[in-house]
Chain A
Amino acid sequence: DQQVKQNSPSLSVQEGRISILNCDYTNSMFDYFLWYKKYPAEGPTFLISISSIKDKNEDGRFTVFLNKSAKHLSLHIVPSQPGDSAVYFCAASAGSGGGADGLTFGKGTHLIIQP
């Protein structure tokens, strides 16, 4: 049973426009959510995170929105740039304060920024 789902395997967006990547989760115990970006043959790079006590977190061009009632989060990238082309993973953690729990990842969305 997949607890973190990214239903779009790929997404193509024009350069300069907004990219919206979506993620759904099923485990109510998740209280911390993260987005990672991954290039081929490299490890994932942390982008942005959000705690379940918030509904929005912003960092430069990246904004993450959390809708707890819908168990849904999204990552907005504005404006999209060619270097944003990568695979984006949504991840969730339960009981994250102590850092003891592993992250549960979605299967990723391949974002392609078209010039």
Chain B
Amino acid sequence: KAGVTQTPRYLIKTRGQQVTLSCSPISGHRSVSWYQQTPGQGLQFLFEYFSETQRNKGNFPGRFSGRQFSNSRSEMNVSTLELGDSALYLCASRGRLNTEAFFGQGTRLTVV
């Protein structure tokens, strides 16, 4: 069974630009969540989608948004990038009955 796949693995963007990250969950998983990892703040929850609906949202500004498609794939978008958005962005999927979240390898975003 394939794991959670995130693309791209690495990304360099300029301040003010916008970026879209992609996540394909484990087959059969309908819940996809996104996390930001930075050295100072650790792993912080961004939002979670279930059956194309955002079910929960962390404490991040509106520049961070996401969506989920009917095949459970998810995208995360960050607009008007700031230097502080440089981080490892992790996607995780969960099965309907399981509560363990399985993570992808992440997308390393660098804003210059």
Contact = CB atoms under 8 A, between A and B. Distances in A.
Interface residues of A, number: 25
Interface in B34-57: 35, 41-48, 50, 55-56
Contact of B90 (A44, A96, A104): A44
B94 A99 contact: yes
A96 B103 contact: no
B90 A43 contact: yes
Contacts of B96: 99
B58 interface: yes
Contacts of B6: 43
B42 to A, nearest CB: 4
Contacts, number: 75
Interface of A: 32, 34, 36, 41-46, 49, 89, 91, 93, 96-97, 99-108
Interface of B: 4, 6, 31, 33, 35, 41-48, 50, 55-56, 58, 90, 92, 94-106, 108
18 contacts: A42-B105, A42-B106, A43-B90, A43-B103, A89-B43, A91-B43, A97-B99, A99-B94, A99-B95, A99-B96, A99-B97, A100-B31, A100-B50, A101-B55, A102-B33, A102-B35, A102-B56, A105-B43
